[in-house]
Amino acid sequence: MRQSVVVVAGERESVVRGVRWRWRWRWPGRARVLSGTLTGLAALLVLAALVMPDSVDRLGPAAFVRIPAEAVVGAVVLPALPRRPRVAVAAGCGVLLAALTVLNALDMGFRQYLGRTFDVVLDWSLLGDAESYLEDSLGSATALAVVAGAVALVLLLFVLLALSVVRLTELLARHPGTARRSTLTAAVAWVACASLGLAPAAVPLASHRTVTALRGQVHRVSDTLRDEAEFRKVARVDAFGNTPGDRLVPELRGKDVIFTFVESYGRSAIEDPVMAPGVDRMLDARTKALARAGFHARSGWLTSATYGGSSWLGHSTTMSGLWISNQQRYRTVMASDRLSLTEAFRRTGAFETVGVMPGVQKGWPEQKWYGLDKVYDAFRLGYRGPKFSWSTMPDQYALQQYQERVHGKRPAAGKGRMSLLILTSSHQPWAPVPRMVDWDRLGDGSAFKAMEAAGDKAADVIADTARSRAAYGRSVQYSVTALTEWLQRYGTKDTVLVFLGDHQPIARVSGNHASRDVPVSLVAKDPKLLDRIAGWHWTDGLRPAHDAPVWKMSAFRDRFLTAYGSTPGPKRN
């Protein structure tokens, strides 16, 4: 039976070869052109994969006109192997090159959107979030088409690179003399270029990009695994972890304290020459309007632990006093008993704690770690209007619902209130951007239907840098205006508002080399509360000066607790 199978397989291979050779014999010119074209395309594909840069701003013709050392080594080693091992090893090299190319493309995307490289250990879960973002922004059908296209493209890349490396290797093996001369010439050219440091257009001609990328991936995996162990030790050290409730924020007892994160509200909104003029005018106007209502503000800068996205890392960094820069750190903290800033208020027993999270559309187990007695998510705010792309509802509506459901009601006798609000209207893709309406006409949100229908479409803005930057600036103006108008309208002598950005917008909007800084402001009527942070040297008003102090976001928790009378508890054994 086995012998029969071998015979049949041999017969099939003979038939295929016969057809192929008859075609070449009948149309030799076409066969040579087709063969040469396929070989040329294979060489171009392999070359592009070997020298492909890892960031969008380095893309350009000069990046691909290079001599890859990996190709020279492969041209020496692979043709020297016996045929069957040669084909297997060549195909394996093609698959490895395809995998590195995919990771390289992910690095490019993550640099463009999140300001960092892709973490092969931690970041796969974010691809699901990216799919959800596309679905919310562009619709289910478009998102499905994009995902399906991406999967098909990745599979095709693996197949084509494996076949290309095999084809080039077999060509070299069939022409050993020519292969040796060409390889020697390429090797000499590579050594000469490397020795002389030749780099026209600031791109070295001698490349070892693939080896560098592979080594970088190995180091990143090692660093990620080591970081997890080290961070667990750091997270266990908490100056306020054992502080009794009666020694936490005593200077804020009886106050109405509100922490608000404004999505993607970054330093670029205030200092970028395109977006800043409108945002700065708004901040100055809102500062004056609040002053007329008796409120005063001071503002500074915080350096966020994230960039372009992953807002929950910025939220948890601010609240935990730890630098939570990746998903593993986030999971570690959420599973720990680390004291959050919001939990500190709950621990006193003197505050009710509530969260308003219009962006939460599924279970949110983090509520326990945050120490929130009650959370209003996207489904508990009574909204009947349209979504504004990713944002489930306009910030003005969310704030009005906060007023009606929480802030407008008195807390239990003798208690203050601590609230955590996450505003979402300035979330990318910033289309359509809502506009302010009369507060008394908000109703159930149906009034926004015509506004949403007439606004920009996400698909028209998401890939257009100029339109994205303009729309981002408008969205920040809207969110901060909504928040400060709410404060002007409903704030009291006991209201203390802290609002800040969670991260900068994506690099396409903020620039490839933008900082990670975000504005932070503290607003109150009681001058004593502002006097307690006089030592922070923040700028008066809602617009922090360019040279205002910059802290790491992880420093805010302890500085805030200390400023308002908290004292560290006994150390844990």
- d(CA 55, CA 489) in angstroms, rounded, equals 47
Which are the contacts of 568, defined by CB distance < 8 A and separation ≥ 6? 239, 240, 243
At residue 12, the pLDDT reads 47
Q: Kindly indicate the confidence band of residue 138, based on its pLDDT and cuts at 50, 70 and 90.
A: low
More confident residue, 56 or 152: 152
Which are the contacts of 11, defined by CB distance < 8 A and separation ≥ 6? none
Highest-pLDDT range among 129-133, 143-147, 186-190, 282-286: 282-286
Highest-pLDDT range among 8-12, 142-146, 393-397: 393-397
* Main-chain dihedrals φ then ψ at residue 301, nearest 5 degrees: -125, 145
Structure tokens at 194: 């490397």
Q: Looking at the predicted structure, is the pLDDT value of residue 82 above 70?
A: yes
Identity of the amino acid at 254: G
Mean pLDDT over 251-257 rounds to: 91
**What percentage of residues in the chain have a pLDDT greater than 90?**
39
- d(CA 322, CA 238) in angstroms, rounded, equals 9
At residue 9, the pLDDT reads 42
At residue 363, the pLDDT reads 82
- d(CA 445, CA 456) in angstroms, rounded, equals 19
Chain-wide mean pLDDT for the chain? 84
**What percentage of residues in the chain have a pLDDT greater than 70?**
91
Mean pLDDT over 482-491 rounds to: 95
Tell how strand 67-68 and strand 256-262 pair up. unpaired
Q: Looking at the predicted structure, is the pLDDT value of residue 421 above 50?
A: yes
Q: What is the pLDDT of residues 108-125, one digit of tens each?
A: 877 777 777 777 777 776
Mean pLDDT over 432-457 rounds to: 89
pTM of the shown model: 0.78
At residue 215, the pLDDT reads 81
The neighbour count for residue 153, using CB atoms within 10 Å, is: 11
Mean pLDDT over 325-346 rounds to: 90
Q: Looking at the predicted structure, is the pLDDT value of residue 8 above 50?
A: no
More confident residue, 109 or 447: 447
Which are the contacts of 183, defined by CB distance < 8 A and separation ≥ 6? 72, 75, 76, 172
Mean pLDDT over 537-541 rounds to: 95
Q: Kindly indicate the confidence band of residue 16, based on its pLDDT and cuts at 50, 70 and 90.
A: very low
Q: Looking at the predicted structure, is the pLDDT value of residue 559 above 70?
A: yes
The neighbour count for residue 63, using CB atoms within 10 Å, is: 16
Q: Looking at the predicted structure, is the pLDDT value of residue 5 above 70?
A: no
More confident residue, 10 or 89: 89
Q: Kindly indicate the confidence band of residue 137, based on its pLDDT and cuts at 50, 70 and 90.
A: low
Mean pLDDT over 178-204 rounds to: 78
* Torsion on CA atoms 339, 343, 347, 348, rounded to nearest 10: 110
More confident residue, 198 or 313: 313
More confident residue, 473 or 3: 473
Q: Looking at the predicted structure, is the pLDDT value of residue 21 above 80?
A: no
Which are the contacts of 397, defined by CB distance < 8 A and separation ≥ 6? 381, 383, 385, 442, 445, 448
Mean pLDDT over 428-451 rounds to: 90
Going from the C-alpha of 45 to that of each of 160, 163, 420, 511, 553, the distances in angstroms are 8, 11, 51, 30, 44
At residue 25, the pLDDT reads 61
Give the 3-state secondary structure of residue 391: strand
- d(CA 222, CA 127) in angstroms, rounded, equals 22
